[in-house]
Amino acid sequence: MSPLAETGQQFGVYIHIPFCTKRCDYCAFTTFTEYFHLRTDYIKACSAEIDLAAKAGMLRPATSVYVGGGTPSLTEGRDLALLISSIPKTTDAEITVEVNPESLTPDFCAAIQDTGVNRISMGVQSLVPRVLEDLGRPHYPGSVEKALELISQYNFSSHSVDIIYGAASETTEDLAETLDKVFAMDPGLPHLSAYALTVEQGTPLARDTRRYPDEDRQATFYGFIDEYLKTKGMTWYEISNWAKPSHACRHNELYWLGDPYLGIGCAAHGYIEGTRYKNTSSINRYLKMIGEGRLSRTQDDVITPKERELELLYLKLRTASGVPEKNLDFAEDLADLVRLESGKYTLTLKGRLLANEVAHRLSV
Q: How near is the Cβ of 208 to other proteins at its closest, in Å?
A: 19
Nearest to 247 by CA among 160, 151, 163, 122: 160
Least distance to other proteins, CB of residue 211, Å: 16
Closest alpha carbon to 298 in 289, 306, 307 = 289
Q: Min. distance of Cβ 243 from other proteins in angstroms? A: 16
Compute CA distances 181 → 69, 187, 231, whole Å: 25, 10, 15
Nearer to other proteins, 77 or 270 (CB): 270
In the complex, the smallest distance separating the C-beta of residue 150 from other proteins, rounded to whole angstroms, is 26
For other proteins, which is the closer residue by CB, 70 or 77? 70
Contacts of 254 (CB under 8 A, 6+ apart): 10, 11, 12, 63, 64, 261
Rounded to the nearest angstrom, the gap between the alpha carbon of residue 352 and the centroid of all alpha carbons in its chain is 18
Q: Residue 289: what are its φ and ψ, rounded to 5°? A: -65, -45
Distance CA 318, CA 96 (A): 22
- Nearer of residues 100 and 240 to other proteins, judged by Cβ: 240
Q: Smallest distance, Å, CB 319 to other proteins?
A: 10
Question: Closest CB to other proteins among 214 and 341?
Answer: 214
Q: Which is nearer to other proteins, 105 or 198 (CB)?
A: 198
- DSSP letter at 195 equals E
Select 48 or 257, whichever has its Cβ closest to other proteins.
257
Count Cβ atoms within 10 A of the Cβ of residue 9 and give its class: 0-12 exposed, 13-18 middle, 19 or more buried.
exposed
Judging by DSSP bridges, how do beta strands 191-196 and 158-165 pair with one another?
A: parallel
Q: Is 129 helix (H, G, I), strand (E, B) or coil?
A: helix
C-beta of 130 vs 276, nearer to other proteins: 276
CB 112 within 8 A of CB 81: yes
CB of 45 to other proteins, least distance (A): 19
The least CB distance from residue 225 to other proteins, in Å, is 12
Q: Which positions lie near other proteins, rule CB under 8 A?
A: 12, 14, 195-198, 215-216, 218-220, 222, 238-240, 255-256, 261, 263, 268-271, 276, 278, 301, 303, 307, 310-311, 314-315, 318, 333-334, 337, 350, 352-357, 359-360
Helices (H), 154-214: 172-185
